Amino acid sequence: MEYSSKSIEKKWQDFWKQNRSFEPSEDFTKEKKYILSMFPFPSGRLHMGHVRNYTLSDAFARYYRQQNFNVLHPIGFDSFGMPAENAAIKNGSHPKKWTYDNIDYMKNEFYSLGFSFSRERELATSDELYTKFEQSFIIDMYEKGLLYRKKGMLNWCPHDQTVLANEQVVEGCCWRCDTPIVKKDMNQYYFKITQYGDELLNDLKKLEGGWPKQVLTMQENWIGKSNGLAFDLFFDEISLAKLNNSFKGFDVFTTRPDTIYGVSYTALAPEHEIVSYMIENALLSEDVITQIKVMKTTSSIDRQKEKSGVSLGLDVLHPLTGKKVPVWIANFVLMDYGSGAVMAVPAHDDRDFDFAKKYDLPINAVIKPYEDELSADSAFTEVGVLFNSHEFDEMNSKEAQSKIIEHFEAKKIGKKTTNYKLKDWGVSRQRYWGAPIPFVHCDACGLVMEKKENLPIALPEDIEITGEGNPLDNHPTWKHCKCPACGNDAIRETDTMDTFVESSWYFLRFCASPKNWETEAFSQEQIKYWMGVDHYIGGIEHAILHLLYARFFTKVFRDLGYIEFDEPFDKLLTQGMVLKDGAKMSKSKGNTVDPDAIIEKYGADTARLFILFAAPPTQELEWNDSAVEGAYRFIKRFYERSSHVNKTDKIPTIVHAALSKEEKFARKKVYEALVRANDVYTEKYTFNTMIAGVMEAMNALNLQNNSAVWSEGYWILSSIMEPVIPHTCWDISSEKFALKNFSSVKVLDEVFVEDTITLGVSINGKRRTEIEVATDESDENVLKIAKESAAKWLEGQTLLKEIVVPKKLVNFVVKG
RNA sequence: GCGGAUGUGGUGAAAUUGGUAUACACGCCAGACUUAGGAUCUGGUGCCGCAAGGUGUGGAAGUUCGAGUCUUCUCAUCCGCACCA
């Protein structure tokens, strides 16, 4: 048999398609596995990262099919998004055509790699049917108060001309195009993800063990829970008068209530409402107003470079001492965290310290180290002991935190508070290629939900995409509609949804039987059976964005009564990047490898084998052309040596005792590979060692020529390898085993029983020699044999201790 | 700064509870078959050394009969977050 990847792969891909080989069964009494890889954006072509992702999920899916599970392994396309519009601007192609052409191309690539996806459940999130149900969920969420509209300061990308969620701002820049973002005041829709902040944080515990620690930590940090004290600061008489009594004061949040007696100034964010009031009412000098304007318009990156501020000429009263404390504006105070105002304790906070130094503000220390002296050159931020703090003097600063909170609560001047870094998810985008937000603006009724029977609110196709403004807004007719409530003329919302909304529930849609796709998003019964996802596989880059949003939607859907569980993904496998020449593959670096070219030259099985063999899945994978050749050579040998195998439709029975040493060794290696393979899918995901085991077994088989041993070996090995190199294995199996061997094989313990065993002999832990003894030899005899063998090294030494580790080694402890 | 991870041959990487370090593969060297080889097969290959032997898992110390594995410290690299009060 001569190996030809082209003819074999085509043959089996056609066979699988014709036989609907990978469609899940609707028999819900069978045990199930839901294997999901993160679906791709239809960018045009697959890249090696995709190949790695889907090779992994495909291996899981195929393994569990062999184990007789009912397997759901679906694929779709996350097909809304800006690149479709960017392509339109660049090439004049319609976003819809561009998207669906790409999908067609990429689907062909998928199937030419032999991925065992359910073809009948393929979907694209830009399908109108998908939009229909998504809009329906949006309406439900609005009714529940989980979606709201408000005016606020938003992250605006000047290049993409759209708003970004906080999660989409990376180091102050747009996650997609790297343009520095600016703040813009706009009306936006928000999901109330903060309402679930605590649950999203606490439920991370449920994911321990199933999710990588790194991802859990990243989510924990992102949610950023911190406990502390919130209290009001009140203006003194003079300041009240200055402000025309419009404000009594403002509230602040601190995680360091123990430093309360060290407060020497307070600071507001430049965007704070009191500041705005003072500007509007000309209560500040032109010079100060100019300074504030500069602070507000500086990009967040530049704002971090140096601390700056300005005094407002106001004072508040210290809540405990009643002393006057000056109020400043400081550029490091963030409007969107806490209340946008802080109490400043320069003696015990680095930022406050820098600011006080710059503007020559007082520095009042109230905590000192237990051992050392306080330094005047920096803030002391460690745990210490309180002084200058009235009744709290001599108290440990950690302990003082709760005591002082109690004190504030007892006096009813403040209370224990929890703050989160997590903010509500801004979901509206001023772009065309997204799911329209199903609302209508009516002069009489205000913001009105579209009626569910009118869904989907589909996108118009006759649009002009220029890159200037929102194409929906510019469309001559689309936005004009009737108010669903009063029937009068109204204007349709022209914002579309963030594409992360689609990816937040697609895994639920896959559970739905396609025959009901028209009528329902999914059914309780189907969800109950298929969810949660047993193995979710994808890139670490989604650690926060997608995975947090999907968890949020799951909890919302639970509270809306659609589903009955808290977390969607039981096990998460985050794959490493694919590198070439030490760097991530990218077009700009010119170090990409085109999957199609690899398939053309070596075949899909070679690409799959290399990817799984070269590194464990969570690690980075360095592309290596000659190692790819090596993978190809292995497959060729594996295929061609199947000529040693006899045709059979059941696993051969072999009398182990009657075999030669080489034959026994070959069987042992084969069964070792089998044992390894069974661990891989549940615990370790180390496909590389599983494949190494198969290679060892192949090497061992090649040292003997018993055709029954060859046949048994191939029965097992081609089954182990089927998830990795399916085309090759199906071809061997159909030729030799009538496709009967893709099922679990019982491990025979007899092959691991050996007559003799080799033990290492070491002196003081250093290996010197080895001995071969009968497996059941007594320790006493083992020692005797070992001593003879090591006589050379024991001579003239005093033997202090003898250690026998059964089946491993002998160690002599000597002195001399 | 905070958090997470990773350091083992020329390279990608192996190594149950601490128990013969470097499996498997790439590369390299030698040989065989060949008109030829980027095909195939066989053998070799951590480092120093002719050898005996020594040495060796980023570095230092510790626990132990025995440490890649456990403990402490340290160095380097990568990733994520970052003025979050």
Q: Is the CB of A648 under 7 A from strand B?
A: no
Report the sign of the C-alpha dihedral through residues A795, A796, A802, A803, in that order. negative
Q: Is the CB of A305 under 7 A from strand B?
A: yes
For residue A89, the model assigns a pLDDT of: 83
Determine the nucleotide nearest to A224 by Cα–C1' distance. B84
Report the sign of the C-alpha dihedral through residues A529, A535, A539, A542, in that order. positive
Whether the Cβ atoms of residue A98 and residue A87 lie closer than 8 Å to each other: yes
For residue A112, the model assigns a pLDDT of: 96
What region does A340 belong to: left with phi over 0, alpha with psi -120 to 50, or beta? left
- Other CB atoms closer than 10 Å to residue A586's CB: what's the count? 11
Structure tokens at A97: 């055509």
Q: CA–C1' distance A755–B9 (Å)?
A: 34
Identity (one letter) of the amino acid at A471?
P
Determine the nucleotide nearest to A222 by Cα–C1' distance. B81
Q: CA–C1' distance A738–B69 (Å)?
A: 46
Which residue in A814, A753, A803 sits closest to A779, CA to CA?
A: A803
For residue A794, the model assigns a pLDDT of: 80
| A518 CB burial (10 A radius; 0-12, 13-18, 19+) | exposed
For residue A173, give every residue at least 6 positions away whose Cβ sits within 8 Å of its Cβ, in sequence order, or none: A179, A180, A181, A301
Strand B nucleotides, any atom under 7 Å from protein beta carbons: they are 2-5, 11-15, 19-21, 23-27, 39-42, 53, 65-67, 79-85
A396: which DSSP letter? B
Pure H helices in A316-360? 350-359
Each residue of A52-73: b (16+ CB within 10 Å) or e? bbbbbbbbbbbbbbbeebbbbb
Structure tokens at A651: 């696993």
Considering only residues 553-582 of chain A, list those whose CB is below 7 Å from strand B.
Answer: none
Determine the nucleotide nearest to A616 by Cα–C1' distance. B13
- Other CB atoms closer than 10 Å to residue A340's CB: what's the count? 22
Distance, CA of A94 to CA of A46 (rounded, Å) = 21
Protein residue with the closest CA to the C1' atom of nucleotide B80:
A218
Determine the nucleotide nearest to A800 by Cα–C1' distance. B65
Considering only residues 117-146 of chain A, list those whose CB is below 7 Å from strand B.
Answer: none
Whether the Cβ atoms of residue A583 and residue A589 lie closer than 8 Å to each other: yes
Distance, CA of A413 to CA of A231 (rounded, Å) = 6
Considering only residues 403-462 of chain A, list those whose CB is below 7 Å from strand B.
Answer: 419, 421
Protein residue with the closest CA to the C1' atom of nucleotide B65:
A813
For residue A816, the model assigns a pLDDT of: 60
Q: Is the CB of A214 under 7 A from strand B?
A: yes
Determine the nucleotide nearest to A768 by Cα–C1' distance. B20
For residue A765, give every residue at least 6 positions away whose Cβ sits within 8 Å of its Cβ, in sequence order, or none: A811
Q: CA–C1' distance A382–B73 (Å)?
A: 22
Q: Is the CB of A217 under 7 A from strand B?
A: yes
Q: CA–C1' distance A692–B66 (Å)?
A: 29
Beta bridge partners of A715: none
Distance, CA of A136 to CA of A149 (rounded, Å) = 17
**Within 13 Å and on the Cβ side, how many CA atoms surround A486?**
13
Q: Is the CB of A733 under 7 A from strand B?
A: no
Long-range contacts of A394-403 (CB under 8 A, 24+ apart): A397/A258, A397/A259, A397/A367, A398/A258, A400/A257, A400/A258, A401/A256, A401/A257, A401/A258
For residue A140, the model assigns a pLDDT of: 97
SS3 helix, strand, coil % of chain A, rounded to 5? 40, 20, 40
Pure H helices in A641-778? 661-679, 687-701, 707-721, 726-736
Q: Which residue has the tokens 């077994």?
A: A697
Distance, CA of A505 to CA of A563 (rounded, Å) = 12
Q: CA–C1' distance A663–B18 (Å)?
A: 34
Considering only residues 693-732 of chain A, list those whose CB is below 7 Å from strand B.
Answer: 695-696, 699, 702
Q: Is the CB of A626 under 7 A from strand B?
A: yes
Whether the Cβ atoms of residue A382 and residue A369 lie closer than 8 Å to each other: yes
Cα–Cα distances (Å) from A40 to A20, A36, A114, A329, A536, in that order, read: 23, 12, 17, 46, 14
Q: Is the CB of A540 under 7 A from strand B?
A: yes
* ipTM, interface predicted TM-score of the complex: 0.94
Q: CA–C1' distance A635–B33 (Å)?
A: 23
For residue A615, the model assigns a pLDDT of: 92
Determine the nucleotide nearest to A423 by Cα–C1' distance. B84
For residue A128, the model assigns a pLDDT of: 97
Q: Is the CB of A686 under 7 A from strand B?
A: yes
Mean pLDDT of residues grouped by 10 in chain A (816 residues)? Answer: 90 97 96 97 93 96 96 97 87 93 97 97 97 97 95 80 76 77 84 94 90 90 92 96 95 95 95 94 93 83 85 96 96 91 94 93 92 82 91 93 95 93 90 95 95 94 84 92 94 95 97 95 95 93 91 97 95 90 78 91 95 92 91 94 93 93 92 91 88 94 92 96 97 96 91 84 83 83 85 80 85 80
Considering only residues 584-613 of chain A, list those whose CB is below 7 Å from strand B.
Answer: 613
Determine the nucleotide nearest to A421 by Cα–C1' distance. B84
Considering only residues 497-536 of chain A, list those whose CB is below 7 Å from strand B.
Answer: none
With residue A399 as reference, give the H or E element that holds it: helix A397-410
Q: CA–C1' distance A12–B53 (Å)?
A: 59
Q: Is the CB of A760 under 7 A from strand B?
A: yes
Distance, CA of A313 to CA of A287 (rounded, Å) = 14
Q: CA–C1' distance A614–B10 (Å)?
A: 17
Distance, CA of A300 to CA of A182 (rounded, Å) = 8
Whether the Cβ atoms of residue A200 and residue A421 lie closer than 8 Å to each other: no
Considering only residues 326-385 of chain A, list those whose CB is below 7 Å from strand B.
Answer: 331-335, 337-338, 340-343, 349, 351
Report the sign of the C-alpha dihedral through residues A450, A456, A460, A465, in that order. positive
Whether the Cβ atoms of residue A555 and residue A55 lie closer than 8 Å to each other: no
Determine the nucleotide nearest to A808 by Cα–C1' distance. B19
Distance, CA of A425 to CA of A192 (rounded, Å) = 7
Estimate to the nearest angstrom the gap between the alpha carbon of A208 and the chain centroid.
14
Whole-prediction pTM:
0.92
